[in-house]
Amino acid sequence: NNNNPYHKFNNQSGKHNNNNGYNKYNNNKEELDIENNDKKLPIFSKKKEIIEQIEKNRVIIVSGNTGCGKSTQVPQFIFEKKKNGKILITQPRRIAAISIAKRLSYEMKSKLGELIGYQVSMISHFSNDTKILVKTTGVFLEELLHNQLKYSYVLLDEVHERDIYVDLVLALLKNYFKEFPDSPIKLILMRKMA
């Protein structure tokens, strides 16, 4: 299925399968295919609007159908605009967190653990230079409980699932924003379209 933006990433040829989620490109056509597939994702048409809303507001909600590109494209939109800010993406499950980190490193042509990294449970793969970090919601909750909020952008993904971790994170962030009304941190809630 050539319309599937994940087709090349998930193929079984082994061309794009390695432990770090990124291969050097030997073929410019493959690079173009990735860029063209990203631009076909429904979220891409909303790029300008999403960036404008993030700049104007402290908290925004991004709603979209599964597969529209929220999880992989929104952090890239932000990074393109604000390269100095540190971006956190939360995922409710470990496998999803690792998969998103691998996909981002692949799309952004960066070795996993450098520009893009992840932390799930006791497993982490990131460096001091990591700008986009994917964590499980539970790991982020632990950070919040210890008052360690060191990100410019916090993207809470799959908030529609409303599990205990998401609810606690939202409550703690609400309190944080009340306590620090001038904090520059931006919160982006990403949810499935109702």
pLDDT by residue (tens digit) across 47-104? 999 999 999 999 999 999 888 999 999 999 999 998 888 999 999 999 999 999 999 9
Query: Which residues are 59's β-sheet partners?
Result: 187
The residues, ordered by sequence, that sit 6+ positions from 89 with a Cβ below 8 Å of its Cβ are: 71, 75, 97, 100, 132, 133, 134, 135, 155, 157
Predicted pLDDT at 147: 77
- Percentage of the chain lying above the pLDDT 70 cut: 80
Q: What is the pLDDT of residues 174-189, one digit of tens each?
A: 999 999 999 999 999 9
Q: How much is the average pLDDT of 134-142?
A: 95
Q: What is the pLDDT of residues 103-130, one digit of tens each?
A: 999 999 999 999 999 999 889 899 999 9
User: 13 pLDDT exceeds 80?
Assistant: no
Residue 28: which pLDDT band, with cuts at 50, 70 and 90? low
Buried b (16+ CB within 10 A) or exposed e, 152-165: ebbbbbbbeeeeeb
CA distance 73 to 69: 5
Alpha helical stretches, state H, the chain? 28-40, 47-56, 70-81, 94-107, 137-145, 164-179
Predicted pLDDT at 83: 81
Predicted pLDDT at 122: 86
- Specify the DSSP class assigned to residue 54: H
Predicted pLDDT at 39: 67
* 43, 47, 121 from 141: Cα distances, Å: 28, 29, 11
Helix (DSSP H) and strand (DSSP E) numbers for the chain: 6, 7
User: 148 pLDDT exceeds 80?
Assistant: no
Predicted pLDDT at 18: 40
